[in-house]
Structure 1
Amino acid sequence: MNYIEPKVAKLIDAFVDMIPSLLFGLITLFLGIWLIKFLIGFLTRRFTKGNIDVSLSSFLISVLKAILYLLLILQVASTVGIPTTSFIAVLGTAGLAVGLALQGSLSNFAGGVLILLFKPFRIGHSISAANGVSGTVLKIDILYTTLKAANGTTLYAPNGPLANAVINNTSDNETRMLEYIIGISYNSNIDTARKLILNLLDKDPLVLKTPQPVVLVSSLGENAVNLTIHAWVANGDYTKAYYSNFQKIKEELDNNSISTPYPQREVHILSPAPTPGDQK
């Protein structure tokens, strides 16, 4: 008993000495939880008012909440006297190893955040990227963007390369320009061809009156005079107007004897001069 009593007394004294630290740690814990909830609620409301994509906002809030609670636990542990240096070192080493193993995924994640935040395209937009990806956007996730290609197949494009590529968004504007380059023969009358094409476009209800369609001589080719045709239509009418007018222009030119020549080559055969022996 004489041996145990000093040990118990030391434990009691140590516990009494820790009471202020424990109380301060509890206060820090409850105050930290309240602050984290307040901050998460504030950010959630701001994301909602700012029309931030739901998948992006929920992911960012989840990551931020995990980081804040981890920092709070470390702070409480340090307050009550628990050493956290070794724990932080282990976390840093583990984070480095995971980061090296998931370099591609982290790049796609960063690209997904940029796409969802800055919105270079949205669901339903038709896009084509400089890296060869093109189609209609079906879904934008954190790591991949899902598209439907023109041939009906589904494409899953990594967000990293997509965010760093030049993107042509054909759905971002209300109007879109039709452009044709049609060659007519050098014997055809250019003014007649221009009037025929402009009259045809003026009768098409899909073609907008402003800006007005134009037909210009763009180049003098080897076999034809090339006419460049510009006309504007509503974005949703582009495909229908493009193909229907292409056919109508060709038929209108043919019906008025404005020929669109085939590529041609002139071959001159030069006979060798006869030699004195051949003349005999």
Structure 2
Amino acid sequence: MSESDLSKFFEWALGGFNAIAFDLVVALVLLVVGWMVSNWVGRLVRRVATRSTRIDPTIVPIAHSVAVWSIRVVVLVAVLARLGVQTASIIAVLGAAGLAIGLALQGTLQNIAAGIMLLALRPLRAGESVSVAGKADGTVDEVGLFLTRFKQSDGTFITLPNSLIWGSPIVNFSRHDTRRAEIQVLVPYGEDIDLALSELRKMVDTHELALKDPEPLVMVSGYRDNAMLVTVRAWAAASNWFELQNDMNRQAQRVLKAAGIELPPSRPRC
């Protein structure tokens, strides 16, 4: 090999190296900048969604994840294209791999589908008090694509797969502004039942937390071996339900005793 040929070879190699180095630098810059932009957009989406009163807090984590990873996927494709990789073939391979992974992770996909349905139909939202039959009772903390987290009344957190929630009856205690409180009282046979009904009606009519509309209801709802079963129902604002329920339970016995009505002895449940 002549000196001229050797010189041309080095020039060619150096040019190729410079081109590769340039592409690597550009790809690295694209990756770093793209990642930073995705994080910034994610924070922006979360901040705007959190401040808006028209956006359900439940969808904020999902919107954040979608915004971040949409940008990152585009950045990764651009980086691969800059490095000379045939992105069309990669997308085809990823599609085939996605199908295989999807078949292997059917349970996970069920959770994602259930999460989308929970977010679309919104039977529960962040901050609402709900009961998922036999699974959890508490306040919804966050609904994600895979899992939903609840804060229970004892302060513990429980996390359930979305498919489990979607397939169970959901009782939502916070969806409406009002909620009905109900207690039952036993009045022995031989006591003045009309007086008992009247005194219990006065109790709910004068209670500051009991709403006038719908009208409270006091009625004989059944019979036991030694007493009549009286049911007292009154509506309250959802935020006042627990206090009204507790007050009615405490006051009913005191009101009836003050009216001279003897109540049957209570028996502890075993």
Q: TM-score, normalised by structure 2?
A: 0.67
Separation in 2 of the partners of 1:115 and 1:83?
35
Greater gyration radius: 1
Which of 49, 52, 55 is 1:51 aligned to?
55
Secondary structure of 1:160's partner? helix
Distance 1:101 1:185 in 2: 64
Distance in 1 between residues matched to 2:210 and 2:166, nearest whole Å? 34
Aligned to 2:126: 123
Q: The residue matched to 1:124 in structure 2 has which SS? A: coil
CA deviation after TM superposition for structure 1 residue 127, in Å: 0.1
Unaligned 5+ segments in structure 1 are 1-43, 77-81, 265-280
Matched, 1:240 2:255: no
Tell me the amino acid that sits aligned with residue 231 of structure 1.
Answer: A
The one of 112, 116, 136 equivalent to 1:113 is 116
Work out whether residues 176 and 232 of structure 1, in 8 Å CA contact, stay in contact via their aligned partners in 2: yes
Preserved contact between residue 123 and residue 140 of structure 1 (Cα < 8 Å): yes
> Is this contact kept in 2: 1:215–1:229, CA < 8 A?
yes
- Amino acid in structure 1 at the alignment position of 2:55: N
Deviation at 1:117, TM superposition (A): 2.2
Partner of 1:204: 207
CA RMSD of aligned residues (A): 3.4
Structure 1 residues 176 and 123 mapped into 2: Cα distance closer, same or farther (>3 Å)?
same
Matches within 5 A, 1:96-175: 96-175=99-178
- Give the match's secondary structure for 2:250: helix
**Residue 88 and residue 235 in structure 1: after superposition, are their counterparts in 2 closer, same or farther (change >3 A)?**
closer
Matches within 5 A, 1:185-196: 185-196=188-199
Q: Please, which moves more after superposition, 137-146 or 199-208? A: 137-146
Q: Deviations over 1:209-238 (max 9, x none)?
A: 111211111111122100111101111111
Q: State whether residues 145 and 159 of structure 1, in contact with CA within 8 Å, keep that contact through their aligned partners in structure 2.
A: yes
**How much does 1:66 deviate?**
7.7
* Offset of residue 199 of structure 1: 0.8
SS in structure 1 of the partner of residue 218 of structure 2: strand
- In 2, the alpha carbon distance for the partners of 1:195 and 1:104 equals 57
Contact 1:128 1:168 survives alignment (8 Å): yes
Q: Using the alignment, how far apart are the partners of 1:157 and 1:118 within structure 2?
A: 18
Give me the TM-score of the superposition, normalised by structure 1: 0.65
- Cα deviation for residue 167 of structure 1 reads 0.8
SS at match of 2:201: helix
Alignment pair present for 1:218 and 2:224: no
Three-state SS of the structure 2 residue aligned to 1:171 is: coil
One of 216, 231, 241 as aligned partner of 1:228: 231
Contact 1:223/1:263, CA 8 A, preserved across alignment: no
- Is contact 1:56-1:113 (8 Å) kept? no
Figure out how many residues of one structure are paired with residues of the other and give that number. Answer: 215
2:94 to 91, 95, 99: 91
Structure 1 CA distance, aligned partners of 2:266 and 2:202?
28
Q: How does 1:74-85 map to 2 (within 5 A)?
A: none
Alignment of 1:9-28 (within 5 A): none
Between the aligned residues of both structures, percent identity stands at 31
**Structure 2, gaps ≥5 residues long:** 1-44
Amino acid at match of 1:100: L
